[in-house]
Amino acid sequence: MGTVHEMKHPLITTHLTMLRDQTTPSSMFRPLVRQLTYPLVTEATRDLRTEAITVTTPLTEVEGQRLSDRVAVVPILRAGLGMVEPVLEMLPEAEVWHLGLYRDESTLEPVSYYNKLPEKDPPDVAMVLDPMLATGGSATAAIGELKAWGVQRIKLLCILAAPPGVEAVVNEHGDVDLFVCAIDKHLNQHGYIVPGLGDAGDRIFNTRAL
């Protein structure tokens, strides 16, 4: 049974406040996304399996652990790309697979435009990255694609979520753990999270004026 993990920490609240500020430029927005991704990864990897190994320190041999799970990182294009690097810093051996989904602004339904997942040999664990969980359409579609690939353990990592998105993930994929920095109040008539932070992709890639 999946669980919704809403992070509670003074540093997360502080960084998230700066991220929401409309005057925060992309040059500051990107590292803030990175900083908020680290605690999400820490929590999401808490149950990864390990195996015993022995290493030699400058003084003696000591028994330790290394990860034994094969992990895939799956950013939802394009905003999810902003969360990839901090994940790989913590999981340098992880695979990266991309899924391209965008939301049709008239129907608010997800539209898939890129999927290169292989037909076999799924990883043990997949971590879906998407800064914003609004309606939940893109996230649930991505999770569905990973399940079709054969992934048994899936985790969804988001910076912000809205109640409809959380509800959609829980209802459609109740076995998936959701890790989120904050759950905001609601969606507006255009499907944007309120109070939110605007369009995460535009702010990460500095394309708001284009």
Give catalytic residue positions: 103, 107, 199, 202
Cβ atoms of residues 30 and 78 within 8 Å = no
Query: Measured between alpha carbons, how far is 64 from 58 in angstroms, rounded to an integer?
Result: 15
Give me the residue label for tokens 């990592």.
Answer: 157
Query: Measured between alpha carbons, how far is 145 from 124 in angstroms, rounded to an integer?
Result: 15
Q: Please state the length of the chain.
A: 210
Q: Count CB-CB contacts under 10 A for residue 120.
A: 6
Q: How far is CA 66 from the centre of its chain?
A: 23
Q: Residue 136 contacts by C-beta under 8 Å, 6 or more apart in sequence?
A: 164, 165, 166, 167, 168, 169, 172
Backbone phi and psi for residue 133, each to the nearest 5 degrees, phi listed first? -110, 95
Token pair of 26 as six digits: 């992309």
